[in-house]
């Protein structure tokens, strides 16, 4: 058995839990929209074509903000194609994913769906093939009350009231050569500056996200952020980060430690943004929007589910990157959520990519059922229970020796204090593949009076670390974590090997 000691203190807080870090992402890619959230004619579809079974799972999972409509898709997208009478909308080629886009689902439909799902809209604009004029027109269409050409067009299209979209992404992954409209840092920085300025002239209340690096391995990482912010610092409110991780060659130990790379990514971007602030002698601080993150098994472009091998007939909503997630993936996703929460003073928006079918916590079948993947559970519980203040965690733990990241703590943890309800919530992962971990927690400034929740996700009976959920059976989920005790200022528990757990302690001030 391994061991870990954790210390928290009521007076050592990172900041308030930013509710927008529990965000998700809907892109016009694969089956995320069509046969995902939207499938007219499905037995569970409402009169607007929204799948009620998927909506119920979305509400259970609890995302707070959803980024739309892309992703790589947005860099070749004309937003005007997705508004107006559906039977008059054009059918277009989508070069990003080598598919046909019917535009049967667009901005109005997504805003209606978001209201039904009780999520905030985070809208991305096309700065790949388009620019300043289209950007400001879209803000006017979406947010201006009326009496102008674009706002009156929205009203004529059935939305009398403004959509009041507050968060806008200034393009997507334009540092990447794969992106339609790929740009140098200076080209993008100037465009983001001018587009952002024009958009805020239409609606000064909006918040803008500048494109950051697509991952830490990009050759321009660091230099990209510095150059972009040198141009657009005054106009933007956030810089974005994107990162996907997977298990390589059976190296589960390194895979389970990948949140350490997420920590590094976040802290590097914070440092770069603050260096630009110091250089500019400004007190304004740029926050981070980690608006794409997940486990994604990127198998290359020669497999059946990748766009470059899609039949030359150009299909609508083909199956693309529909990964099936196992127990190990769920534990890793839990550590990613911990990393985001621990940095919640600066990472104030985050979006798991994507919501349905495409590398997603929710799966659905055309004409068939919808179900929860293994990675659904850490997100759902943290969105539900991470409330109030983020507490700093000091960890002294046995180590896992990894080939890629060196020594990593066997236990990964984040914690929050909900002062209003008198609870402290712990979100813990045991990275150990084979051994249980004996965990003790010192509750500085608190007296524990009981345990109100203790649940764990681990290898199910008869399963392995590679066990997944399917439409026919969902063996991977949360079960009660037995043996958790709280005595005064000490919490004690045992984490099974390869597990993610949530423990909520009832507390009073010591």
Mind listing the pLDDT tens digit for each residue in 235-250? 999 999 999 999 999 9
Nearest-angstrom CA–CA distance, 229 and 223: 10
Which residues participate in catalysis according to the annotation? 173, 292
Residues 396 and 379 in one domain: no
pLDDT tens-digit series, residues 81-122: 999 999 999 999 999 999 999 999 999 999 999 999 999 999
Residue 304 pLDDT level (bands cut at 50, 70, 90): very low
Residues 376 and 394 in one domain: no
Cα-to-chain-centroid distance, residue 124? 15
Residues 379 and 396 in one domain: no
Residues 354 and 406 in one domain: no
Cβ neighbours for 38, distance < 8 A, ≥ 6 positions apart: 49, 50, 51, 104, 105, 109, 113
Residues 379 and 395 in one domain: no
Residues 356 and 398 in one domain: no
Q: Helix, strand, or coil here: 154?
A: helix
Tell which of 335, 365, 385 closes a domain: 385
- What is the predicted pLDDT for the residue at 416? 98
Tell which of 368, 385, 402 closes a domain: 385
- What is the predicted pLDDT for the residue at 313? 72
Residues 70 and 164 in one domain: yes
Separation in Å, CA 24 to CA 351, 352, 354, 358, 465: 4, 5, 6, 12, 26
Residues 346 and 376 in one domain: yes
- What is the predicted pLDDT for the residue at 28? 98
Domain enclosing residue 356, as ranges: 18-385
Q: Is 149 exposed, middle or buried (0-12, 13-18, 19+ CB in 10 A)?
A: exposed
Strand partners, 402: 406
- What is the predicted pLDDT for the residue at 99? 95
Cα-to-chain-centroid distance, residue 76? 22
pTM summary value: 0.96
Is the pLDDT at 305 greater than 90? The verdict is no
What's the number of domains the chain is made of? 2
Among 175, 203, 284, 179, residue whose Cα is nearest residue 238: 284
Residues 246 and 206 in one domain: yes
Is the pLDDT at 309 greater than 70? The verdict is no
CATH code of the domain in which 251 resides: 3.20.20.80
Residues 315 and 427 in one domain: no
pLDDT tens-digit series, residues 34-63: 999 999 999 999 999 999 999 999 999 999
Residues 356-380, mean pLDDT to the nearest whole number: 98
Tell which of 353, 385, 417 closes a domain: 385
Among 318, 308, 421, 324, residue whose Cα is nearest residue 375: 324
Residues 106 and 193 in one domain: yes
Q: Helix, strand, or coil here: 238?
A: strand
- What is the predicted pLDDT for the residue at 300? 53
Q: What is the mean pLDDT of the chain?
A: 96
Residues 406 and 365 in one domain: no
CATH code of the domain in which 399 resides: 2.60.40.1180
């Amino acid at each position: 058995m391994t061991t870990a000691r954790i210390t928290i203190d009521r007076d050592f807080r990172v900041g308030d839990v930013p509710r927008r870090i529990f965000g998700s992402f809907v892109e016009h890619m694969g089956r995320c929209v069509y046969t995902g959230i939207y499938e007219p004619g499905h037995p569970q579809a409402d009169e607007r074509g929204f799948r009620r079974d998927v909506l119920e799972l979305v509400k259970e999972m609890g995302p707070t903000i959803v980024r739309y409509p892309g992703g790589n898709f947005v860099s070749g997208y004309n937003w005007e194609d997705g508004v107006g009478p559906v039977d008059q909308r054009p059918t277009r080629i989508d070069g990003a994913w080598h598919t046909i886009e019917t535009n049967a689902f667009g901005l109005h439909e997504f805003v209606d769906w978001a209201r039904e799902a009780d999520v905030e809209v985070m809208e991305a604009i096309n700065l790949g093939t388009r620019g300043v004029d289209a950007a400001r027109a879209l803000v006017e269409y979406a947010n201006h009350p009326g009496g102008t050409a674009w706002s009156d067009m929205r009203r004529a299209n059935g939305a009398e009231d403004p959509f009041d979209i507050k968060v806008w992404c200034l393009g997507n992954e334009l540092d990447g050569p794969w992106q339609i409209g790929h740009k140098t840092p200076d080209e993008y920085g100037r465009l983001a500056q001018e587009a952002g300025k024009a958009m805020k002239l239409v609606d000064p209340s909006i918040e803008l996200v500048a494109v950051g690096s697509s991952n830490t391995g990009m050759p321009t990482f660091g230099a990209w952020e510095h150059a972009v912010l040198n141009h657009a610092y005054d106009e933007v409110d956030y810089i974005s980060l994107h990162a996907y991780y997977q298990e390589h060659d059976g190296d589960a130990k390194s895979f389970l430690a990948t949140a350490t790379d997420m920590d590094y990514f976040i802290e590097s971007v914070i440092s770069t943004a603050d260096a630009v602030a110091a250089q500019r002698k400004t007190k304004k601080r740029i926050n981070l929007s980690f608006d794409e993150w997940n486990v994604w098994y990127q198998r290359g472009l020669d497999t059946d589910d990748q766009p470059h091998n899609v039949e030359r007939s150009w299909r609508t909503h083909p199956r693309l990157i529909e990964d099936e997630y196992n127990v190990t993936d769920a534990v890793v996703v839990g550590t990613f959520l911990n990393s985001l929460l621990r940095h919640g003073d600066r990472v104030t928006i985050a979006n798991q990519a994507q919501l349905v079918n495409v590398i997603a916590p929710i799966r659905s079948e055309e004409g068939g059922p919808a179900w929860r993947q293994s990675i659904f559970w850490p997100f759902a519980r943290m969105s539900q229970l991470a409330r109030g203040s983020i507490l700093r965690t000091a960890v002294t733990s046995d180590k896992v020796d990894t080939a890629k990241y060196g020594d990593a703590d066997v236990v990964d943890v984040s914690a929050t204090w909900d002062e209003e309800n008198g609870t402290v919530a712990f979100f813990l992962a045991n990275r150990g593949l084979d051994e249980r971990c004996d965990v003790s927690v010192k509750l500085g400034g608190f007296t524990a009076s009981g345990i109100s929740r203790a649940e764990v996700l681990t290898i199910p009976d008869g399963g392995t670390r590679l066990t997944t959920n399917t439409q026919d059976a969902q063996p991977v989920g949360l079960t009660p974590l037995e043996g958790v005790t709280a005595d005064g200022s000490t919490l004690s528990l045992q984490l099974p090997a390869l597990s993610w757990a949530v423990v909520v302690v009832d507390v009073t001030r010591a």
